[in-house]
Amino acid sequence: MGVILDPLYNLVSGVIILFHNLLRPIFGTDSGVTWSLSIVGLVICIRIVLIPLFVKQIKSQRALTALQPQMKAIQNKYKDDRQKQSEEMMKLYKEHKTNPLASCFPILAQAPIFFALFTVLNGIAAKTPEGVSAPIARGFLKGDYLDSAAQATFFGAKISQSFLGSPDTTVKIVTVILIFVMSATTFTTQRQLMVKGMPKMDSSNNMMLQQQKIMLYLFPVIFAISGVNFPVGVLIYWSTTNFWTWGQQFYVIKRNPTPGSPAYEELERKRAHKNKEDKRGASGTVIDPENTEPGQNSQEGEVKGQRKQPKKKKKK
């Protein structure tokens, strides 16, 4: 087990120590701010590494627009056979070497990092059976660093303490707030995706949607149950990574939404509206021939009053 876990402890503690060294001239060596921000730094590093994967997924989702007619055809052809429908859909993706789904592995790959952080932070708070504090060094978090981290606080709560593991009221209050933040960010992220980010579902998907809705409300409860066992530092990590997910999704839904989703239609409307305004502003009510794409010239004869906006006009 050590062969697998030691490199992970080194990685997690190494990044934290690196950020600690960068930040301590500003906030002080033993400051809780330094240690808390070091954990945030770890999140930022991990999420930056994962950005290319995210971009790749978005790109293949967009490539799907071209397959839309074939997808519709499959949906109609196998209306009553969900299994066949899914099979044909997957075949279509494979044929065109584009798959809009995120894949299962990356989530699993993050779990060991999370577990390593959990163990490293728990090591700081370790006690002997008699209750005497006896921190366990893991990875690069040892010596002076370990002593300093053991004293570090986040809004008055030691980052190595957990709700169930500490009698301290401050720790209890801080963990409850962090669990609330975790639940709230997950909830908003999921809701945002369901309401705006996904293509409208037909009735055959209703049951799935219903199930998702139940989960949406059940998840904060699951967080509350597991969160009471986690040290404050892990909760900081979790909350930060949730904020990142939310921000990333917000950006994509706003700027580059999935075709067919409500957010996509909204953006199309906005773009169409903006195109109209731009053109009016540039040359009264008539379109300036020099500003239009070559392909549109054939339409010029009928460009009077309310003409339909070209759909594929790209902005920026």
CB of 102 to another protein, least distance (A): 4
Task: Tell me the per-residue interface mask from 182 to 221 with another protein, x by CB under 8 A, - otherwise.
Answer: --------x--x----x---------x--xx-xxx-xx--
Closest by Cα among 176, 178, 173, 212 to 194:
212
Contact residues for 69 (Cβ-Cβ < 8 A; gap 6+): none
Task: Using the minimum distance from each CB to another protein, give the nearer residue, 87 or 147.
Answer: 87
Residue 114 touching another protein (CB under 8 A): no
Using DSSP's 3-state secondary structure scheme, residue 250 falls into helix
Residue 3 touching another protein (CB under 8 A): no
Residue 242 touching another protein (CB under 8 A): no
Q: Answer yes or no: are the C-beta atoms of 244 and 47 closer than 8 Å.
A: yes
Alpha-carbon distance of 159 to 153, in angstroms, equals: 5
* Tally: H helices and E strands in the chain: 10, 2
Residue 78 touching another protein (CB under 8 A): no
- Choosing from 4, 108, 111, 221, the residue that interacts with another protein (CB under 8 A) is 108
Residue 35 touching another protein (CB under 8 A): no
Task: Using the minimum distance from each CB to another protein, give the nearer residue, 18 or 53.
Answer: 53
Task: Using the minimum distance from each CB to another protein, give the nearer residue, 191 or 270.
Answer: 191
For residue 203, what are its two tokens? 């009735």
- Choosing from 17, 18, 44, 57, the residue that interacts with another protein (CB under 8 A) is 57
Contact residues for 159 (Cβ-Cβ < 8 A; gap 6+): 32, 35, 36, 39, 121, 124, 149, 152, 153, 231, 232, 233, 236
Binding site for another protein (CB under 8 A): 53, 56-57, 82-83, 85-87, 89-91, 93-94, 97-99, 101-108, 190, 193, 198, 208, 211-212, 214-216, 218-219
